[in-house]
Amino acid sequence: MTVVRRVFSVFPALSRLLPSSGRCSNRFTTAADLEELITPPVQINYTKLLINGQFVDAASGKTFPTYDPRTGEVIAHVAEGDAEDVNRAVAAARRAFDEGPWPRMTAYERSKILLRFADMVEKNIKEIAALETWNSGKPYEQAAKIELPMFVRLFRYYAGWADKIHGLTIPADGPYHVQTLHEAIGVAGQIIPWNFPLLMFAWKVCPALACGNTIVLKTAEQTPLTALCVAILFHEAGLPEGVLNIISGYGPSAGAALASHMDVDKLAFTGSTDTGKIVLELAGRSNLKAVTLELGGKSPFIVCKDANVNRAVQLAHFALFFNQGQCCCAGSRTYVHEHIYEEFVEKARLRAMRRVVGDPFKRGVEQGPQIDSEQFEKVLKYIKSGIVSGATLECGGGRFGSKGYFVQPTVFSNVEDDMLIAKDEIFGPVQSILKFKDIDDVIKRANNTQYGLAAGVFTKDVNTANRLSRALRVGTVWVNCFDVFDAAIPFGGYKMSGMGREKGIYSLYNYLQVKAVVTHLNKVR
């Protein structure tokens, strides 16, 4: 019996953007002659902090630059929030929760506002996607055809949940009526990363609002623009003042102030494992607020002996290189069975050489720049370490072009488990291909990591798929697919990849308190 294969199942648009297979020249594909989809700049109207329904300057008056990663040039100067601004935002969120209409609305009314917001975003997808591409460097086609539609889908999904949150009645010993109430937790502090600014906004904001909470959200300093842009649509959709507050700023100032704030009831963070430890410590030292963390990963992608090599190469390529390799769950350890290893490596090299790198505003571009100079230099440093440690550089290995933060699609073979490129989260377009002998061997090696976010398994055998799915200590296993992020599917990690789950019904639990109500009955029939 074979397992049904669903390559690119959640990203149908992406599969149409990929070049067909075949031999290629001995150089990387470029985007020089491709048609432009849209040319920035788009108009930037919102660069201030959003506090209590108003766009305001930072209390200090400071701003910081946000950059175009294609060129390194400044796009805009954005208000730099700090602890004083976090205090103002939390106070606004607290008033909105304790006194405002949002938690007191019927769930159906909250649902209608979320749906109106989703409709408004859908009508403005082109402009919002252009801003997302300009600020983050991700391909415009990816932003407009994949990520923004998914953003809209998430809000509609949670709008549907808003009026379906309810407790239970519980039989108890004695003359008692027992019921549970699921109540909003209060003020939610949320800190999102730069690799998927809008999707992470949705992952955090959707369930919190559906449950009736209020929010203070801190954007990544690299990508503050789109959260501020869509926030104005939220208020046009009818969101009351103070329910959603947005602070742009740096982690050690604004982020730390939010994590340690005594009047924040719940904290959600997505980012690196090292920063997640700091966030958890700050939360614990303050008021023991509930914390969910979605952190780093070093996900194994396991290609079994029976695999269709051509399809496995395509899927492994997608699993690693999508979004410039800037995915916490990227399949960054490609384990390939020794019987098909050499064939796989050669085809993986050719596929990487065909990858279209260039201006993300051009049609057909698969890979834009890394987010900033720091990430760019980090990726190049890891590539150098791979060469020095003895891995075989199959292609890439350096800068792409002469400006901006572009990195050549890079493939290493003959990678050993103890090499840095096989242990550390590179967060860039660097594929490490390792050889394995049998299932016991690959299970042991795949689990020998501090991370446990995700894994990919490529096989025709249902028994192999089932065994690996149960043996791998990760939060998500994709079988014959990868990066399937349906709104209903939970996502989160084992071990040092975090705690708690996002998306689906599971994320609602992050934003609810459970209260038991026990009533004595004078008579029981």
From the list 283, 212, 276, 259, the residue with the least C-alpha distance to 450 is 276
From the list 165, 162, 259, the residue with the least C-alpha distance to 216 is 259
Q: Do residues 208 and 228 make contact, with C-beta atoms less than 8 angstroms apart?
A: no
Token pair for 427: 């967060």
DSSP three-state, residue 238: coil
Active site residue 99: no
Residue 81 is given by DSSP the state B
Amino acid at position 170, single letter? I
Active site residue 328: yes
Q: Do residues 81 and 49 make contact, with C-beta atoms less than 8 angstroms apart?
A: yes
Q: How many CA atoms lie within 13 A of 449 on its CB side?
A: 32
Please report, for residues 70, 328, 362, the alpha-carbon distance to residue 74 in angstroms, rounded to integers and kept in the order given. 11, 27, 21
From CA 138, how far away is CA 129, in angstroms rounded?
Answer: 10
Catalytic pick among 206, 211, 229, 328: 328
**Backbone φ and ψ of 266, nearest 5°:** -150, 140
Catalytic pick among 132, 141, 147, 294: 294
DSSP three-state, residue 66: strand
Please report, for residues 131, 192, 398, the alpha-carbon distance to residue 372 in angstroms, rounded to integers and kept in the order given. 16, 17, 16
CA-CA-CA-CA torsion sign (318, 321, 327, 328): positive
Write a three-state SS string for 282-339.
HHHHCCCCEEEEECCCCCEEEECCCCCHHHHHHHHHHHHHHHHHCCCCCCCEEEEECC
DSSP three-state, residue 98: helix
| Residues acting as catalytic residues | 294, 328
